[in-house]
Structure 1
């Protein structure tokens, strides 16, 4: 083997020519990053030196010809980009990186690129240099200092020596009660990344990152990382309030929390960040009720998410700590209670235990001067210019304070419709959708998350075909809405025509004005009458097509762009408790809300929160007594939102006070299955979905009925299905009758009950004393609040057992700790297993040494039959008075599979579906990739024509990766882990 001294020499020696321009490589990394050398000195980060080191590595193996090789130059540039992004993706605001970390990433990049000879040579060279340095150190005088002196620059500008003993103490405290943690490893790793003159903030970050880097090898490091992050948060908050000269540890904070809480409330009120009414509470009583130990419950993703997006701050200084945050939310929700302190403590204890979590708008705004706590708003857009732009203005006002929007656009006349005022022809609904799209982008919910809206259109609308193409990246961009979600509002008659391969007629609503408000058999009769009128020439603006052809185009666009989602008008309306006073014209942003709307008088509002299901699995079974206690308090909290809420639009306030709908949901369903040892794909899991939702339904309805005894029934109760003694389970009969019976080809939905609950008594109670809320249940996506509580999203199957999650707070390694614990018990968890998981995209199915029962239990989303997701959703749907955000996963989609899946969803009685997640048959991204493509979709191989071919029963068409689907133009259209999808929660 040749000597490498001339080819390598750290990452510092210049060469005559870099493989890429300095400007190209400098653009890869954010500014403000420093490199710590082995002697403790700090220099600026220079990405060209990485390229130089890589070039020398190739020269050492391939000789002088490598310098002139186009392949080598291109490879070096690509690998340099990968290395830089891997090192700096968490450092958008600057930071430090050790020279050894850079060289580690160079090794990894070479190995991942398949340059094994070059990588091997580089590894040997590093080992030789390390040995040489050790030999030089051994020759040093015995009294030579062990390493460079480190001084820390304090926030006030003074300098003091590094307190290593405190670092050890804080890491030891963070590791308390956790297995598999090496305190010395974290401390030594952190110390290695320090430099003389480091700031307090950078010191805190270095210790936290030292633990975070080990999460994929041991999931418990996520809790260590969170607790180390808390150390910095405590310092930031108490220093801002002038409370502490030193940095309080968790143990010290237990005594400080009551004093801190009082100071925090008064300061936040003085800064006009909180409602002055909060200062009128008995703050001493509330402060003593705070449970400081619960600060240690968070995992890293959860705490970082709270810090970045939820905590009260002044000039970007966060001075709201977790327990104060939960109490602040609770105080807002208890504002109108008679015994406010007692209720606030009750609500706080539920939130801080993670047994239940309110939705993001409630967490954002409770206790603030403008407490907009509602999650979802549904509006109808009328067919006149004033009304259209009035609806768009309502969108802006509602979105400003963190509300997700669902708009019903069906009343707006279609392309070619006659305009009486001008005697001209309409350009249709699409140009106005473009304006609504741009409004959603402009009004970004106070900078906390992007504004988001979903447009709904019925399948008979004249513009439905163009509506299907709104998310495409080809065609006239003025008739595209790249940022708006879209959904089909599908009547049963259309699905029947699809099943029968019958004709379908598209109408413009100004000529068929009553279709929009009709449902079931009445809709069918009127639609057929309009078809006859069209045949007779008495309706002018219509179009004939085949239902099956339109259905295939719907599925093609769903496959290609992720939109429009497919939702079912009649199932939503025929099972709606409020059908006596109105019509459900659309769902919301995430397809779980089904409430009446009417232009000018009814903007529907829903307040959401979710039960943490795995927290109620005790000793291998569902703890129904605990579940009842949780839901009783949760329903009171949700109901309290309605009076306390800030309404930016009067119509929304009037509607909400009249009907009082709320949406209690669940999260962590797959985590619950892990605790019960039930594979998601099993019949046992489907049964558990049924029985757990029955329990939640019973306790939610019972809690609302008990609130009606205390506070009175909602104003529009008389005449509702509740008033008739018809509960959600009973309303299936109404849907079955409309479709021709429960055992027809058009409806096959299980109607069994467990026998564990006295439904007859509950029916009688509701008929006698009423119910407090017109609607009580809805299962939302829970994207962010599931992060906060550290459980799986909503009813979602686990995406991968190991992956990197991206959201507005950054990128976070997520490891399935249930799997890791099982593998540990079998003595199978080691570094090789962690690498195998990364190689196989978080799947255990191809890892030979994993037992079959573990493989069955830990199937990931794309390894589960999508029909099982529908079956479980169908079982839940029978108990829910609203709907559920149900994502469907398909690893290798084809037209036949999509056709069967969505027909199965309709026949199974689902009210709505949400995203279709598809993964290419021949391409998936690896979690080990560090070039920015991590968990993102690559280029889609499915064009519009390819997608159409797929839906025309082609055997399979490769699609892009699920996490970021892009079409051939590269625009992202569907990303389950992207901030854009964190719509409701």
Structure 2
């Protein structure tokens, strides 16, 4: 077979190709076929027997390239873009050796052209005209472009303006619009990120240049393009103008105009604009900055100042506190949650992240619950709904003498409500339904996220979670029976936990055996457990959360019962239905742990300062907050809970050279959480002296001198021998703090909760929450688009050892962002940069157990299994229970192919993030805030009869497991 025999795809009409010298020619798909065939022949040789296979293979690859080039309308493409797509098709098809050879050949040719002086497209390029908004045309101002690139690259190592300019010349065309030109500059830098992560910062600065022009021009009414240096001198004046305009059009609270604006704007640090990474700035641009008819007029430092002023509006010295809050936010030492960032300082300051409700067993409460969900979700709240009180299928309805259809039909409506009210159009609405394991509808509840069955009894867009009592796990361990009840006949089980629940539950079982309970069903506990794990594996739901530790360790046992967690399983607060009901509210923010460590360890003094200010900011939210329903206001003002968490845990490990799967990582999780807890509790107690104790303090565990560490003994006493294995060690002066809390009181009923931080960690440019690194190289997809993400710590280490080159990039793509199979990477780097699926999950549970002892609430803990089986799942979740965890979040299992093997460069101004393997049906949405992600069937190994017997199916296996619902 010769190169010319591969059948070319149909040439797209009117598409032109830009040569390297800037001239244009017609598109010819045959050239793609020829080049691709030559690449295969160079690696695999010329085999007549394989000629037919190669012919069809090349034809298919050519079709893929043509389809990619014509997916979005464009008048012309550069020859390098075509070659990028060829590389993408080869990598996506798994032809790694051929793609690698192709990459090296391209590099050799590029070096040869540079040596011969033949790569002079920029110098010899024809004149390009730019079309301005008024329709006028002018030659491309290359002087300004060069100046912008020089400014964007200033102070950034390993980047050059020339490389970006060369990429730009590949995409500009005569007649390009001014907006397209600005986008092309950003895209030019983005295409270089996979080979040099520092270009992400260059891309961010180029986007910032575009944003400055957009914002300043909108406010002034004339077209302006200020550079950073000019803007630095104008930032204070701009901020005052921006606030006046935002107030005039009804977006910002007029109260902000009463601040001493000279004083607060003098604190603005314009240079911090230049420190925001591209993903962070693009996220802010798309979703957070204020806009008028789609035009952004809020710059980053003005945004952080607006949020800070909104949080300081009721302080005595408002200006001083606003500056203090601004410094914390703009430095990325701490970041408030997404609702706070969205709404602080606006005319509707709904700043709280999470709302927990209990739905009672009557239609008024059920439909009132839908209404509450809609009102709470409208302003970006995430919802956790306790549905356990609603009677089950077959239960008697006294008012009509009918039979209940159970809780499931009502859940269907709740899920549809969350979708319809999509958090004010800023992100998808999200809710999680909780049901206790003894509810007679629990088996139907497990099936809610399945893609088969009666769609009227499915909730494809709503998260679900099991609220599991300890008694059930004891029955599983003993291979005993488990009885299911309808809550209308056993109403007190809902409010009982620990020993009291176990005793009452056994009494109801005896009553059922005597025929005194109408609706009940007995199942084998291990069979129900097996089904719970099977559904968790297949659909990613329901999550497994533990009722008894949430209640036995709750500081607010005297004030009510924790009936559920929230959307992301880190909030554990009391709820109550009825006329005097309470909807639990939590106000979240996260410390950037990566900003509080050095190579020598934790910077305890800086952490103390950050936490003290952060707790004050979160406490302010309670008083400032715009409450959409009275039950939320009543609960929040009475208990004043906040949830201070952390992010950047993996980055902190890298800085200290600690491997994530190690005793040292577990110890750091322990010590960092201890310090966070100590300083947060101290700050809340000191606020109680300044502002007063929260209303329900008397009778709480705090009032009795029982801190989160001490509450472990309450759980241990209820569980008995062998059912709790938790480290009790500590290093700080907890005795003194116990006495301080007991005598001074607490300002907040709860102070600690570790949320997912998916979006705010993007803003800060660090790893999410407590997550291990998912991949070292991948394409991240969210509501702001597709982004190349590379672990910068890894790249820095590979550069130091002379290992960072084109082949390493290709190998990282091929091996799905993992170092394990790349022979030339040293063992110490493989251990340090092990990805989530390469870490034994017991390490993640061990680290989470150490954190949990310090938390008065919980943590969003994802669990990862590279080779899931019934035995593995059974052992993992029993370990989580024995380790004292209050909740777990998503189960992640590895897909057959989990990272796009691509050049990551598209022709449409966006990065390419197409799933590399198709799925027969969509899996459960991996996040409440993101689209459904295809999952891939994973083989299940044989398991013994005593362990859950899982069928092959789908789990929540995703390229980038973000949850954007909470933060």
| TM-score, scaled to structure 1 | 0.89
Task: State the SS of the aligned residue for 1:608.
Answer: strand
Residues 385-410 of structure 1, C-alpha deviations (whole Å, 9 max, x = no match): 11101101111111111000000000
After superposition, the Cα gap between the structure-2 partners of 1:224 and 1:335, relative to the gap in structure 1 and judged at 3 Å, is same
- Following TM superposition, by how much is the alpha carbon of 1:34 offset from its aligned partner in structure 2, in angstroms? 8.4
Residue 745 in structure 1 maps to residue 722 in structure 2: yes
**Pair 1:54 & 2:33 matched:** yes
Secondary structure, counterpart of 1:426 in structure 2: strand
Query: How many angstroms does 1:357 deviate by?
Result: 0.1
Q: Deviations over 1:939-964 (max 9, x none)?
A: 5899999879769578998977xxxx
Describe the shift of the 1:907–1:978 C-alpha distance in structure 2 as closer, same or farther (beyond 3 A): closer
Tell me the distance in 1 between the aligned counterparts of 2:91 and 2:569.
Answer: 44
Which of 544, 549, 554 is the aligned partner of 1:576? 554
Q: Name the counterpart of 1:893.
A: 868
| In structure 1, C-alpha distance between the alignment counterparts of 2:942 and 2:877, rounded to whole Å | 17
Structure with greater contact order relative to length (CA < 8 Å, sep ≥ 6): 2
Residues 1:271 and 2:249 are matched in the alignment: yes
Say if 2:61 and 2:90, in contact at 8 Å, map to a contact too. Answer: no
**Per-residue deviation at 1:473?**
0.8
1:977 match: 960
Q: Distance in 2 between matches of 1:265 and 1:855?
A: 50
TM-fit CA distance, 1:113: 3.9
Could you give the per-residue CA deviations for residues 332-372 of structure 1, whole angstroms, max 9, x where no partner exists? 10111111111111100000000000000000111111111
Q: Counterpart of 1:680? A: 660
Q: Contact 2:530/2:949 (CA < 8 Å) preserved in 1?
A: no
Please give the alpha-carbon distance, in whole angstroms, between the structure 2 residues aligned to 1:361 and 1:852. 43
CA deviation profile, 1:93-150 (whole Å, cap 9, x unmatched): 979742331233225424664779998999999999999999x999x9xxx9933112
Aligned to 1:876: 851
> Over residues 443-477 of structure 1, what are the superposed CA-to-partner deviations in whole Å (9 max), with x where a residue is unaligned?
10122110000000000000001101111111111
2:796 matched to 1:831? no
Following the alignment from structure 1 to structure 2, what is the Cα–Cα distance between the partners of residues 948 and 390?
46
Which of 755, 769, 793 is the matching residue for 1:794? 769
Matches within 5 A, 1:575-614: 575-600=553-578, 601-614=581-594
Task: State the 1:161 CA deviation.
Answer: 2.3
2:716 to 725, 731, 736: 736
Change (3 A) 1:75 1:483: farther
Task: Report the equivalent of 2:542.
Answer: 564
Indicate whether 1:491 and 2:465 are aligned: no
Matches within 5 A, 1:452-601: 452-600=430-578, 601=581
1:137 and 1:844, CA in 2 relative to 1: closer, same or farther beyond 3 A? closer
Moved more, 937-946 or 494-503: 937-946
1:76, CA displacement in angstroms? 3.2
Give the CA deviation at 1:984: 0.4
Of the candidates 805, 813, 818, which is equivalent to residue 843 of structure 1? 818
1:76 equivalent among 59, 83, 87 = 59
1:618 aligns with 598
Residue 936 of structure 1 and its aligned partner are, at CA, apart by 7.5
1:492-543 Cα shifts (integer Å, max 9, x gaps): 1001111111110000000000001001110011000000000000001000
Partner residue of 2:405 out of 407, 421, 427: 427
Call closer, same or farther: CA 1:912–1:123 in 2, change over 3 Å.
closer
Unmatched 5+ stretches in structure 1? 9-16, 27-31, 967-972
Q: Is the 8 A contact 1:36 1:194 kept in 2?
A: no
Match for residue 674 of structure 2?
A: 694
Confirm or deny that 1:668 pairs with 2:648. yes
Q: Which moved more, 1:349-358 or 1:838-847?
A: 838-847
Distance 1:439 1:74, change over 3 A: farther
User: Structure 1: how far apart are the matches of 2:631 and 2:805?
Assistant: 59
Match of 2:194 among 216, 228, 248: 216
CA-to-partner distance for each residue in 1:392-433, whole Å, 9 max, x for gaps? 111111111100000000000001000001111101000000
Q: Where do 5+ consecutive residues of structure 2 fail to align? A: 905-911, 924-933
Alignment counterpart, residue 905 of structure 1, candidates 880, 883, 901:
880
Residue 197 of structure 1 pairs with residue 175 of structure 2: yes
Of 603, 609, 613, the residue aligned with 1:633 is: 613
Q: Distance in 1 between matches of 2:214 and 2:870?
A: 55
What CA distance in whole angstroms lies between the structure 2 residues aligned with 1:875 and 1:394? 36
- Judge which range, 336-345 or 399-408, deviates more: 336-345
Aligned equivalent of 2:786: 811
**Is the CA contact 1:413–1:429 (under 8 Å) kept in the aligned structure 2?**
yes
Partner residue of 2:344?
366
Q: Give 3-state SS (helix, strand or coil) of 1:289's partner.
A: coil
Q: Distance in 2 between matches of 1:697 and 1:955?
A: 37
- Partner secondary structure for residue 342 of structure 1: helix
What pairs with 1:705-720 in structure 2 (closer than 5 Å)?
705-720=685-700
> For the structure 1 residues 750 and 34, does the alpha-carbon distance in structure 2 shift closer, same or farther, using more than 3 Å as the test?
farther
- Give the root-mean-square deviation of aligned CA atoms: 3.5
Distance 1:526 1:117 in 2: 65
In structure 2, what is the equivalent of residue 916 of structure 1?
Answer: 891
For 2:25 and 2:505, the matched residues in 1 are separated by 74
TM score, norm. by length of structure 2? 0.91
- Hey, what does 2:235 align to over in structure 1? 257
Cα distance in structure 2, aligned partners of 1:460 and 1:869: 29
Say if 1:919 and 1:959, in contact at 8 Å, map to a contact too.
no
**Cα deviation 1:188-220 (Å, max 9, x = unaligned):** 221332222222211111221111111111111
CA shift at 1:52, angstroms?
8.2
After superposition, what is the alpha-carbon deviation per residue over 1:720-767, rounded to whole angstroms, capped at 9, x for unaligned? Answer: 000111000000010000011xxx22001111111xx32222211211
In the alignment, the residues of structure 2 paired with residue 885 and residue 61 of structure 1 have an alpha-carbon distance, to the nearest angstrom, of 47
Q: Deviations over 1:688-743 (max 9, x none)?
A: 11111110001000000011000000000010000111000000010000011xxx
Cα distance per residue 1:775-806 (max 9 Å; x no partner)? 00000000000000000000000001111111
- Which residue of structure 1 lines up, in the alignment, with residue 79 of structure 2? 99
CA distance in 2, matches of 1:365, 1:185: 40
The secondary structure found in structure 1 opposite 2:591 is strand
**Alpha carbons of 1:946 and 1:924: their partners in 2 closer, same or farther (altered >3 Å)?**
closer
CA contact (8 A) 1:488 1:564 kept: yes
Distance 2:594 2:38 in 1: 56
Structure 1 residues 60 and 825: CA distance shift in structure 2, 3 A: closer
Q: 1:942 to 1:639 in 2, by over 3 A?
A: closer
The equivalent position to 2:396 in structure 1, one of 375, 397, 418, is 418
Residues 189 and 210 in structure 1, CA contact (< 8 A), matched pair in contact too: yes
Give the distance between the partners of 2:738 and 2:699, measured in 1 at CA: 15
Q: Deviations over 1:879-901 (max 9, x none)?
A: 00000000000000111111111
Match of 2:816, SS? coil
Change (3 A) 1:834 1:110: closer
Q: Distance in 1 between matches of 2:775 and 2:546?
A: 30
Mapping 1:165-184, distance limit 5 Å: 165-184=143-162
Counterpart Cα distance in 1 of 2:630 and 2:918: 42
Instruction: Quote the residue 1:764 is aligned against.
Output: 739
Indicate conservation of the 8 Å contact 1:211/1:222, yes or no.
Answer: yes
Structure 1: how far apart are the matches of 2:323 and 2:573? Answer: 32
Distance 1:128 1:891, change over 3 A: closer
Distance 1:331 1:932, change over 3 A: closer
1:946 and 1:957 in contact (8 A); partners too: no
